Structure 1
């Protein structure tokens, strides 16, 4: 569930809880709204937790291609992924 989906569930639950005065036989609309809000809050907390656990990773690979004359040219390729809250370097 995305953060936007969680916010939509929270809004829908709030609307059902506080703005709708409709009665269905056997279903309490207020309880359905509270359940939707709780599900949205859990999804929102999980989505934020998941975003914060993305860590910066650096992958280094060393390649050593052989040229036609037989000399070795070692090259290093570095890929670095950063989080949005990391300071600029």
Structure 2
């Protein structure tokens, strides 16, 4: 289950990002990128994320860059996400993800 809270260009996600809900999350982010030059994603309260979730973040960020926009991913207090992103066998996909 995922909860998505938006305020302006900021998105706060709570719960799990997985294959069951990545389309919903991606649509919310894309809709905001239609309005704003950048989006800030707060993933500090994400309890789990699977490969589909990480890949969706990568795709959204790359698509934003192609249009001259920016996606910043904030997970300063979420060691689980930082650990999985750094230790993933797919880490080459996430080299461009900005995890702050």
TM over 0.5: no
Question: Whose strand proportion is higher, 1 or 2?
Answer: 2
TM class by shorter-chain length? Answer: under 0.3
Which structure's CA Rg is the greater one? Answer: 1
Q: TM-score by structure 2 length?
A: 0.23
Q: TM-score by structure 1 length?
A: 0.25
